[in-house]
Amino acid sequence: MDHISERYRAYALDFWGFGDSDRRDSEFSISEYVDLLCGFMDQLGLTRVNLAGHGLGGMVALRAASEQPQRFGKIMTVSTPINGAQAISARPGALLSRLFGRSNPTNIWSKMVRQIEVDDPQIKDEIIEDTDGLTEMVVERVLASILKADLRPDLARLELPVLAVYGENDSIVSHDQADFLREDHRFLQVLKLPRSNHFPFLDQGNKFNRMLQDFLASEGTPVEIKAEWRRRVSQLEYM
């Protein structure tokens, strides 16, 4: 956020139930968060923006862009499920699978987040604090919305540039979700980062910031993998 705000006006939006936003009784669904995003833009007078979303945020970004493409420019998703049911069932033992059917999903979620390696202890403490602030109702309803979501029809409608980034060591959202992005979408690029987990913007911050900056500055061309870190990044075909 700090890096990109040096060149662009940037906003960080907390969805209902997350961060400092209201914990009111709500659907806590992807569709509701799309409405929240568009309402946020309306309040600030933002007519057209680029979006970068992590996990659930990436799902909301893709859905919003497919429903109101005139309001968005470029979309970057990070560690984002594309087919929610597949994300939950494809990897036995993975977090999304473990959360379903458990009596207290909030505790499972908090425990799994604590196991993710983050080099900066202050940032990890902030992630844990945000996670511990989630209520069981929020986690259950968000996961139910993810389970029902299949974003492939949204992607089929999109004619906006999309860059999807996955960490190969992600224990929460499998990089296999990238396979759902290999369909006929000529505006899409997928990057898998070896040795990166669910938070590639934290464990490979310099590379991630470079990718985001290059993506926003590009004019329809693929993000170029620079020579000094090409060996450490696996780039899929530009669709």
Per-residue HEC secondary structure of 162-209 comes to EEEEEECCCCCCCHHHHHHHCCCCCCEEEEEECCCCCCHHHHCHHHHH
User: Residue 79: what pLDDT?
Assistant: 93
- Burial letters for 189-225: b for 16+ Cβ neighbours within 10 Å, e otherwise? bbbbbeebbbbbbbbbeebbebbbbbbbeeeeebbeb
How confident is residue 110, by pLDDT bands cut at 50, 70 and 90? low
| CATH assignment, 4-235 | 3.40.50.1820
Instruction: Tell me the C-alpha distance between 99 and 92, whole Å.
Output: 11
Q: Binning pLDDT at 50, 70 and 90, where does residue 15 land?
A: very high
- Where are the chain's structural domains? 4-235
pLDDT at 122 over 90: no
pLDDT for res 230: 44
Mean pLDDT of the chain: 81
Q: According to the model, what pLDDT value does residue 102 have?
A: 52
Q: Which tens digits make up the pLDDT trace of 175-225?
A: 888 888 765 566 889 988 888 888 898 888 888 999 999 999 988 778 865
In terms of Cβ atoms closer than 10 Å to its own Cβ (0-12, 13-18, 19+), residue 42 is: exposed
User: What is the average pLDDT across 14-39?
Assistant: 88
